[in-house]
Amino acid sequence: MAMQTEAKERLLGAAIDLVRRQGYNTTTVADICQEAKVTKGSFFHHFPTKDELAVRAIHRWHSFTEQFFAEAPYQQIQDPLQWIFGYLELRESLIHGELPNWTCFCGTLIQETYQSHPEFQEACAAAVLAHLEPIAANLKLAKQNHCPTADWDSESVAIFFQTALQGGFIMSKLVGSPEPAKESIYHLRAYIKSLFPSVDSPLSDQDSKHIP
Amino acid sequence: MAMQTEAKERLLGAAIDLVRRQGYNTTTVADICQEAKVTKGSFFHHFPTKDELAVRAIHRWHSFTEQFFAEAPYQQIQDPLQWIFGYLELRESLIHGELPNWTCFCGTLIQETYQSHPEFQEACAAAVLAHLEPIAANLKLAKQNHCPTADWDSESVAIFFQTALQGGFIMSKLVGSPEPAKESIYHLRAYIKSLFPSVDSPLSDQDSKHIP
């Protein structure tokens, strides 16, 4: 029983890794089994189809990222605006090494399956939007603290966080370097600062990281 | 001879359409031939492989987008900063109707092929970076005019334009709506305004388009 659970987890992890490296449609059940070191018999014991595995992998990605961010040190920051900057600092720190290790499973999956697999779209949207909820909540609190009459919308700005991250991943894939993804977070941070013009940021030293 | 050229163009156009709808790896030569209403014999008369067609399609996309933007009315705007806002206004106006019609061929292609096809990466990067050159040049001129000592880099900000667009496309695919892509341009415009704090924007009425 323990070994079966392990095989299932390995299949989910292998699917996530392979999609991040090469996309969904080109990834076969045989690829996933080979990567997970699991037999096809074991695959079909756990999942009726590749598509069903993918939906479970989205749920797995959702719970993995949820736990990862829930346990990160920036969660201890009490001030909502500094919490936001702490989140961005963590996101930036994740961008290093090989591209498949820090690009997004959901973003890569959905880029090619948004029309063919509405069940992927639904599960990926749920994962991404759940991730954005605390960002929107902290932006809203920070706005109440610093600029309650400003005309921007916290939820729309939170979505733009994910927009900048996803776009940075594509631009990094395009030029084969982590720089655009890092620069994207630099610009996102600068934009957030511009939304709080009355706040002196204690993070200005971080700007020197920016490579023009 | 005229008909042969037409078939070649139809194959390139069909490949671009299909990749925007469903990605690259799942698109077969048979799919492209069916979409283009061309025989397989004709396909292989023009292109030795699907990969070779794709490289030509990237070049086709590059020259198509180059011509489209070169002929757009905002090119007549003399002031560099207003040229930038004119560019963004055009980008926003393109976001309507079915997702495959306004999302990016290169961004969709590269999301799944960045490791397997370095020749796609090279051609897509060339197309996207060429598109960003006049944006960087106008940002640089506007900076010289309005805030020559500001510490941001024109080329990095120009790359962030494309980052915001590509990320907006992914987020729109994720939620099945054009809103995130439109919102992305709203936030990008607000960020650009924040980089030119001394300029009163004549475009402030446009902000009311923003749906919170």
pLDDT tier for residue B200 given thresholds of 50, 70 and 90: confident
pLDDT of residue B196: 97
Residue B73, Cβ density class (10 Å: 0-12 exposed, 13-18 middle, ≥19 buried):
exposed
CB contact B177 to A (< 8 Å): no
User: Which residues in chain B have Cβ-Cβ distances shorter than 8 Å to A108?
Assistant: 111-112
Structure tokens at B109: 């292609």
pLDDT of residue A200: 77
Instruction: Name B83's Cβ contacts closer than 8 Å, sequence gap at least 6.
Output: B74, B75, B77, B138
Q: Which residue has the tokens 């609190």?
A: A141
Cα of B46 to nearest chain A Cα, Å = 25
d(CA A158, CA A138) in angstroms, rounded, equals 9
CB contact B141 to A (< 8 Å): no
By C-alpha distance, which of A176, A201, A50, A109 is closest to B125? A176
Q: Which of residues 36-95 of A touch B (CB under 8 A)?
A: none
Kindly provide the b/e burial profile for residues B178-204, where b requires at least 16 CB atoms within 10 angstroms of the residue's own CB.
Answer: bbbbbbbbbbbbbbbbebbeebebeee
CB contact B121 to A (< 8 Å): yes
Would you say residue B106 has pLDDT above 60? yes
**Torsion angle defined by CA atoms of residues B169, B173, B176 and B177, in that order, rounded to the nearest 10 degrees:** 0
User: Which residues in chain B have Cβ-Cβ distances shorter than 8 Å to A110?
Assistant: 170, 173-174
User: Which residues in chain B have Cβ-Cβ distances shorter than 8 Å to A106?
Assistant: 174
Condensed to tens digits (0 to 9), the pLDDT of residues B59-76 reads 999 999 999 999 999 999
User: Which residues in chain B have Cβ-Cβ distances shorter than 8 Å to A114?
Assistant: 99, 173-174, 176
Report field, pTM of the whole predicted structure over 0.90: yes
Would you say residue B162 has pLDDT above 60? yes
What are the angstrom distances between the C-alpha of B193 and each of A4, B1, B96? 56, 52, 25
d(CA B40, CA A123) in angstroms, rounded, equals 38
Instruction: Name B43's Cβ contacts closer than 8 Å, sequence gap at least 6.
Output: B11, B29, B32, B33, B53
pLDDT of residue A181: 98
Cα of A175 to nearest chain B Cα, Å = 6
CB contact A102 to B (< 8 Å): no
CB contact B171 to A (< 8 Å): yes
d(CA A119, CA A55) in angstroms, rounded, equals 7
CB contact A13 to B (< 8 Å): no
Instruction: Name A52's Cβ contacts closer than 8 Å, sequence gap at least 6.
Output: none
Percent of chain B with pLDDT over 70: 92
Cα of B23 to nearest chain A Cα, Å = 5
d(CA A160, CA A16) in angstroms, rounded, equals 24
The nearest alpha carbon in chain B to A159 belongs to B180
pLDDT tier for residue B210 given thresholds of 50, 70 and 90: very low
pLDDT in tens, chain A (212 residues): 566 679 999 999 999 999 999 999 999 999 999 999 999 999 999 999 999 999 999 999 999 999 999 999 999 999 999 999 999 999 999 999 999 999 999 999 999 999 999 999 999 999 999 999 999 999 999 999 999 999 999 999 999 999 999 999 999 999 999 999 999 999 999 999 999 998 976 544 444 444 33
Interface test with A, best of B105, B155, B171, B179 (most A CBs within 10 A): B171
ipTM of the complex, rounded to two decimals: 0.93
d(CA A128, CA B175) in angstroms, rounded, equals 10
Q: SS3 string of chain B?
A: CHHHHHHHHHHHHHHHHHHHHHCCCCCCHHHHHHHHCCCHHHHHHHCCCHHHHHHHHHHHHHHHHHHHHHCCHHHHCCCHHHHHHHHHHHHHHCCCCCHHHCCCHHHHHHHHHCCCCHHHHHHHHHHHHHHHHHHHHHHHHHHHHHCCCCCCCHHHHHHHHHHHHHHHHHHHHHHCCCHHHHHHHHHHHHHHHHHCCCCCCCCHHHHHHCCC
Instruction: Name A53's Cβ contacts closer than 8 Å, sequence gap at least 6.
Output: A11, A12, A15, A32, A43, A46, A47
What are the angstrom distances between the C-alpha of A44 and each of A16, A28, A48, A140, B24? 17, 13, 5, 46, 27
pLDDT of residue A5: 74
Cα of A10 to nearest chain B Cα, Å = 22
Would you say residue B168 has pLDDT above 80? yes
User: Which residues in chain A have Cβ-Cβ distances shorter than 8 Å to B155?
Assistant: 212
CB contact B112 to A (< 8 Å): yes
What's the sign of the alpha-carbon dihedral B7, B9, B13, B19? positive
